[in-house]
Amino acid sequence: MPEIDDLVRKGQEQLRVLMGGRGGDRGNGTGGGGRGSGGPGVTRSTIGIALLAGVALWGFASFYTVRPEQQSIELFLGEFSGIGTEGLNFAPWPLVTAEVFDVTTNRTEELGVRRGTGGNEGLMLTTDENIVDIDFQVVWNIKNARDFKFSLRDPEASVRAISESAMREVIAQSELAPILNRDRGAVADRVKELIQTTLDNRKTGINVLRVNVNKVDPPSQTVQVTDANGNTTTQSVVDAFRDVQAAEQERDRVERQADAYANRRTAEARGESAQLLEASEGYRARVVNDAVGEASRFEAVLEEYRNAPDVTRKRLYLETMEKVLGDVDKIILENGSGQGGQGVVPYLPLNELRRGGGSN
């Protein structure tokens, strides 16, 4: 059948063209196509370029950089072989592969009723058999890339499970009232220490930076309250606890004010006491010095009296009379000559007497 032969011949010609050959003379219907010359051959330059490209790709896959905030580990056929250093490192791929971890990035796991996936992971039982609703965060990062890589299959899930367990343990050892008021910081510190201890015992390579206790409330429930008149009302447990918490905070505020006033008054009293002590010490020193001075002066006068009794006696008499009569408005005339003050001229202020009489 000539039509089938033509189809086969055309197919052979197209195959030769695709394979790099040259088709036969289509004008010759009977002759088969002659084999053409071969396609373009592979030269040495092509092989060299291919080798250089392969070496470049191999080097690109083998060299890697570790920044200061990163740590890297090297795996030889999937098994740990070493730790990379800061800067440029070489790991001959594909025998050795490297994994780089950012160890300074803070990762946060949030646990609680509102943010938790379990719905009840924030409801915990205290030691006084009360239920508390806690919402807290655990902030962590990587401190050892090798332990982090090989010790944990799911680091986030492990941190969440250990954190929840630690919080439940601490809450089970605490009472409700202190947790609601002023022991949140202490609870967070104890939980952080317990989480870190557990992670270190398991060699997880994780460092817990801090634990933030965001919310501590009683469970969101309502109770029926009946007053003295028999009226029944519905009251939220959370509202009642918040009222108690507000009252306790007010009590603490008043206590702090009282302590501050007591400290201030105590400091003032101590200052006044110290001032009185200093004044008394000064007075004592002054009196002692005066007494010592008087005693020294008396001893000096006594020595002079022993040497010249009459002169000393007269001098003491004159000094004493000077002290006694120094401020007295009187004139004493000596009557040594027996004239009775005849050398003194009497004086009568008549003008002053007239002015005094006229004024009357």
Residues of the chain with CATH 3.30.479.30: 107-220
pTM (2 d.p.): 0.47
Contact 208, 162 (CB under 8 A): no
Contact 73, 146 (CB under 8 A): yes
Please give the average per-residue pLDDT across 119-128, as a whole number: 75
The DSSP result for 14-27, as a single string, is HHHHHTT-----TT
- Tally the C-alpha atoms within 13 A of residue 5's C-alpha that lie toward its C-beta: 6
More confident residue, 343 or 39: 343
**Structure-block tokens of residue 208:** 């817990």
Query: What percent of the chain stands above pLDDT 70?
Result: 60
Residue pLDDT, tens place only, 270-319: 999 999 999 999 999 999 999 999 888 888 888 888 888 888 788 888 88
For 344, the 3-state DSSP assignment is coil
Contact 145, 71 (CB under 8 A): yes
Give the per-residue pLDDT at 25. Answer: 46
- State yes or no: pLDDT of 18 exceeds 50: no
How many Cβ atoms are within 10 Å of 91's Cβ, its own excluded?
22
In the structure, how many helices (H) and strands (E) does the chain have? Answer: 9, 11
- State yes or no: pLDDT of 39 exceeds 50: no
**Structure-block tokens of residue 188:** 């967070």
Give the per-residue pLDDT at 132. Answer: 83
CATH of domain 107-220: 3.30.479.30
Give the per-residue pLDDT at 197. Answer: 92
More confident residue, 7 or 79: 79
Q: Predicted confidence band at 30 (pLDDT cuts at 50, 70, 90)? A: very low
Query: What percent of the chain stands above pLDDT 90?
Result: 19
Which of 57, 116, 67, 122 lies closest to 89, judged by CA?
Answer: 67
Q: What residues contact residue 19 under an 8 Å CB cut-off, 6+ apart?
A: 39
Give the per-residue pLDDT at 92. Answer: 64
Which of 347, 338, 130 lies closest to 237, judged by CA?
Answer: 130
